[in-house]
Structure 1
């Protein structure tokens, strides 16, 4: 009887051609069969958006060491949905988003297409992990992440994750990390997010930019603190957004 190797579905928000995705394939190919479905171009900031009014297309871009790499004209979440529906011959044992060019710590996780991949997998009850590095360079060096990526991948394939929980893993840009911290997301916010410009043809247009502020820079149990001080940060993330404390407080409300 043929025994299948585990199957890992990989996607990202930087595009099927990104260096981070290629490095991830190399890092985890020893653990499982891989299927890659990623956006045809960059989709950063798409979070869990999906396409409801645009027809979607899949295109096989290449086979690399036996791994099929497909592109989709939609969002990262579209990639996962189409892969599960049209390309997977069985339910994946794991879904990985990344490796993202740029960190997805703190509130960035809410905007991230990489986390969108991971949340979608979690919603489908598939163990899911997002990997990101704090470097936006197209040619960033991902090799220092190899050990942590392989340890987490092997561990999750073996032990799974609880239903409703996924992992958000961020890696600092340092010569050698001091260690790994399992931590919470920092409280922070983006300000000065809009730059208004005036077009020569007489109308205003806008760029969304922004400056991030960590509201608790001295809190050592946060992802921002870990990354700032040379640690890799792992944030267990839940898809249940219910405030149970507020439920208790609202029991006395009169309606």
Structure 2
């Protein structure tokens, strides 16, 4: 970044460029730097780190955010970050932020999250990145209680950076009237899983189809986890990385298998 130049902040998400969450995030990022938005043109929840390789990728400039250049993209959240960095931006962003997601991305949900995949795609490119999620699935959710914390976290990342290969997964509890957020907790990812079922249903033409349902099962009673933080009205902040190698198992397997 040149002297006197405002930080360049790339904003993406997985709920689509038309979501309330991204509009709130863009309004906050405008306070901190020059903002460019590249986001999916339709909801991409649960897409994980999918990329588009068998269909053409299309993007169009749209006028949705006052004073902000914005593009809607036919691809996934990871596609959006790739297109922004390699094709649309004339310099590398100083920060990539994704969200604010309508719904939780705590625990194992980080693996399925399109929101966090946009952040992790930036991490692959050695760009500091943060994914923000609100534990409220309502498309008209109230994001007002997130503003102060988002600004503080992004300011710190802009000023101090992040270790290479690391992004932040930030989750907010639902807004509860008369109960302000207690603060932020640096956490680990809780151990848990989704207990799922496939419901067999019939379409209007009397053809069978399957609909995935389920609920989250928390298998972790630790008080240092993201699930505990959210349940106790804290903002959870979890550092995450792309490298999924279980390093502590390498020596064990070497000894056992050789």
Structures share a fold, TM > 0.5? yes
Instruction: Tell me the distance in 1 between the aligned counterparts of 2:254 and 2:194.
Output: 34
CA deviations on 1:40-68 (whole Å, 9 max, x unpaired) are 01000011100000101111111633201
In 2, Cα distance between the equivalents of 1:15 and 1:254? Answer: 47
Task: Give the count of matched residue pairs.
Answer: 254
Instruction: Specify whether residues 171 and 2 from structure 1 end up closer, same or farther in structure 2 by C-alpha distance, changes over 3 A only.
Output: closer
Aligned match of 1:186 in 190, 196, 215? 190
What SS is found at the alignment partner of 1:49? coil
Q: Quick check: 2:23–2:65 contact (8 Å CA) kept in 1?
A: no
- Which ranges in structure 1 are unaligned for 5 or more consecutive residues? none
| Counterpart check, 1:163 vs 2:167 | no
Deviation, 1:194, is 1.4
Range that drifts further, 28-37 or 193-202: 193-202
Hey, what does 2:128 align to over in structure 1?
127
Structure 2 Cα separation of the partners of residues 193 and 150 of structure 1:
39
Separation in 2, partners of 1:43, 1:242: 27
Instruction: From the superposition, tell whether residues 242 and 203 of structure 1 become closer, same or farther in structure 2 (CA, over 3 Å).
Output: same
Of the three residues 240, 245, 248, the one matched with 1:245 is 248
Give the corresponding residue for 2:140. 139
1:210 CA drift (Å): 1.0
- Residue 204 of structure 1 deviates from its aligned partner by 2.2
Whole-angstrom CA distance in 1 between matches of 2:28 and 2:145: 11
Answer yes or no: is the 8 Å Cα contact 1:118–1:166 preserved in 2.
yes
From 213, 217, 223, the equivalent of 1:213 is 217
Greater than 6 Å deviation, 4+ residue runs: none
TM-score where L is the length of structure 1: 0.96
* Counterparts of 2:3 and 2:134, CA distance in 1: 38
Shift of the 89–201 alpha-carbon distance from structure 1 to 2, 3 Å rule, reads same
Does the 8 Å contact 2:21/2:100 carry over to 1?
yes
Specify the SS of the correspondent of 1:169.
strand
Structure 1 residue 254 displacement after superposition: 3.9
Please tell me whether the aligned partners of residues 193 and 211 of structure 1 are also in contact (alpha carbons under 8 angstroms).
Answer: no
Structure 2 residue aligned with 1:231, among 230, 234, 254? 234
Give deviations 1:31-89, integer Å, cap 9, x for gaps: 11000000001000011100000101111111633201210011011111111122101
Residue 148 of structure 1 pairs with residue 152 of structure 2: no
Q: Distance in 1 between matches of 2:203 and 2:81?
A: 39
Tell whether the 8 Å contact from 1:13 to 1:113 is kept in structure 2 after alignment.
Answer: yes
> Structure 2, unaligned stretches of length 5 or more?
none
Residues 200, 86 of structure 1: alpha-carbon distance in 2 compared, 3 angstrom cutoff: closer
State the shift of 1:2 in Å: 7.0
Give the match's secondary structure for 2:228.
helix
Structure 2 length normalisation: TM-score? 0.95
Q: Deviation per CA, 1:139-184, whole angstroms, max 9, x where unpaired?
A: 1111100011000111001111001110000000133111211001
Q: Secondary structure at the match of 1:237?
A: strand
